[in-house]
Amino acid sequence: MAKCVFEDRIGAYLKGELPPEEEARFEEHYFNCPACFRETAERSDLEEALRSAGEAAFRARPQVRLRPGWVYAAAAAVAAAAVILSLPSSPPKPSPFQFPADEIVRGPELAVVGPAGTLAAPPEGLEWRPVAGAAVYRLALTFEGEAIWTAETADQTIALPAEVRSRLVEGRTYVWRVRAYAAEGRRIGVSEPTAFRVGR
């Protein structure tokens, strides 16, 4: 099929890079050129789907899958024990990233899969059960109430960047939590704080 001279405008049009008159000229063109319209519409669909898939679509899945036996109840029990062990003796300093204990949760609880408990090596990633209606999940990994890493994804798993893994210190207890948000920004689920410790 012969290439339309307008075809190389499609990318810039969808990114909103064309000046207004050129944008109108390109729109007038695709009202007259079915090939350019089809290509424009298809790329819009693709870019929209990529945005809702989020960063996670581009990361390889965590190489080491979390142990299949991790279920919510077990993980939560271990987590609860670990959280008590890790409570600092001095009152925690307030932090914008801290999770208030009395946080009101609307909708279903978010069940974590793992990691939780004592691990032989820094975890490859975090995993949880999907929540119906969730458009995005926000993660926070904390040490003594301070966030050391936050991220968001549309997926139910997220890889821990190598840089973050390398910062995890053996013997320390880290707590992570995930929250689910609907597309309009309303929070629809939050997990229990889930603790893990690397080594020893």
Partner 1 sequence: MSPDDPGHDLDEAIAGFRTVVGYKVRRALGAWNPEWEDVTNEILAQAVAKVRSGEFRGESSIGTFIFTITRRRIADYIRDKSRVLRHAPEPPPSPGPEALADRQERARRLTAAVRKLKPKYRDILYLYHFQGLSREETARKLGLTPIQVSDRASYARKLLRRLLGPSFFPSGKAGGD
Q: Could you say which DSSP state residue 4 is in?
A: P
Do residues 137 and 77 make contact, with C-beta atoms less than 8 angstroms apart?
no
The dihedrals phi and psi of 56, each to the nearest 5 degrees, come to: -60, -30
Q: Could you say which DSSP state residue 144 is in?
A: T
Return the one option of Zn ion, partner 1, none that residue 44 interacts with (CB less than 5 to 8 A, by type). Answer: partner 1
Rounded to an integer, what distance in angstroms lies between the CA atom of residue 81 and that of residue 194?
10
Binding residue (CB under 8 A) for partner 1 from 6, 9, 56, 191: 56
Among 84, 72, 77, 153, CA closest to 114: 72
- Rounded to a whole number of angstroms, the minimum distance from the CB of residue 108 to partner 1 is 14
**Is 32 near partner 1 (CB under 8 A)?**
yes
Among 66, 14, 22, CA closest to 41: 14
Rounded to an integer, what distance in angstroms lies between the CA atom of residue 140 and that of residue 160?
11
Binding to partner 1 (CB under 8 A): which residues in 57-96? Answer: 57-58, 60-61
- Rounded to a whole number of angstroms, the minimum distance from the CB of residue 47 to partner 1 is 5
Q: How far apart are the first and last CA of the chain?
A: 65
Among 89, 13, 2, CA closest to 44: 13
- Rounded to a whole number of angstroms, the minimum distance from the CB of residue 10 to Zn ion is 9
Q: Which is nearer to Zn ion, 36 or 141 (CB)?
A: 36
**Is 21 near partner 1 (CB under 8 A)?**
no
Binding range to partner 1, per CB under 8 A, among 4-12, 68-76, 80-88, 160-168: 4-12
Residue 146: both structure tokens together? 């301070």
Binding range to partner 1, per CB under 8 A, among 103-111, 130-138, 142-150, 169-177: 130-138
Q: Which is nearer to partner 1, 12 or 147 (CB)?
A: 12
Rounded to an integer, what distance in angstroms lies between the CA atom of residue 50 and that of residue 83?
37
**Is 18 near partner 1 (CB under 8 A)?**
no
Return the one option of Zn ion, partner 1, none that residue 36 interacts with (CB less than 5 to 8 A, by type). Answer: Zn ion
Binding site for partner 1 (CB under 8 A): 8, 11-12, 15, 17, 24, 27-28, 30-32, 37-58, 60-61, 130, 132-135, 154-155, 182-184
Point out which residues bind Zn ion (CB under 5 A). 4, 6, 33, 36
